[in-house]
Structure formats: C-alpha cells, structure tokens
Amino acid sequence: MPPSATPLQVFAACFIIASFGGVAALLRSGRTLEWRAVVSSLVYSGVVGLVIGLVCYKYFENDNIYLLIGCSGLAGLGGTTVLDFMVQVLAKGGVSINIRPKDTTDKKE
C-alpha cells in the first residue's frame, strides 16, 4: 500500500485483511463449513478489523499504515472467537463460576 493511501483504501484493507483472518480462524477451528458460518465469520471479523482501523487511524496516519492493517488482521483472527464466546454466554444465560475446595473426606465408612 503506498504511503499516500486514502482513508477509504486503508479502511477497506483493514476490513479485507480482518475478514481473511476470521475465515482462517474458522478453518482452523475444525467446525463444519456452512455458508452461513463463513459469511458471519467474514462480516464479524471484518467489522472488528474496521473498528480497529477507525479508532487508530489518526494515530498511525502518517507513521505506519502497515502496522495498523496488521493489527486489524490480528483482531480479525480473534474476532470470531470472542464473538462466539459472547453468543454462547448470552444463549446460556450468563456465566457461572463456582469455586469450592476439593472434598478430601473419605466416603468409605
């Protein structure tokens, strides 16, 4: 990407690289590939990468656009995983963590 890239080009690159990262994470997960899972992975990860691009663009505008696009790609790799976790948490009604000491009593009486 040339140093004189327009913001639209940078944001498009962030979205595309993050989308590819999301599909790579989906392929690595070993789940069955359905068109719906692939499209949702593309969109979710792409949006996460785009958000990273939008938030950090002014900071990296003149310095290192490649770092910004790379960070968006990494966010795309993890975006699908985080979203799947959030959906599972909401579907099951939240998270419950129980901390109990190990039962050390002998039950052979």
What pLDDT digit, counting tens, does each position of 5-44 carry? 788 888 999 999 999 988 888 888 777 788 888 888 888 8
What is the predicted pLDDT for the residue at 15?
92
| Residue range of the domain that includes 41 | 7-91
* 104 belongs to a structural domain: no
* 103 belongs to a structural domain: no
User: Is a pLDDT exceeding 80 seen at residue 91?
Assistant: no
How many structural domains are present in the chain? 1
User: Which of 15, 92, 98 lies closest to 84 in space, CA to CA?
Assistant: 92
pTM of the model: 0.68
Distance separating alpha carbons of residues 48 and 56, to the nearest angstrom: 12
Listed in sequence order, the residues at least 6 apart from 65 whose beta carbon sits closer than 8 Å to its beta carbon are 1, 3, 5, 10
* 109 belongs to a structural domain: no
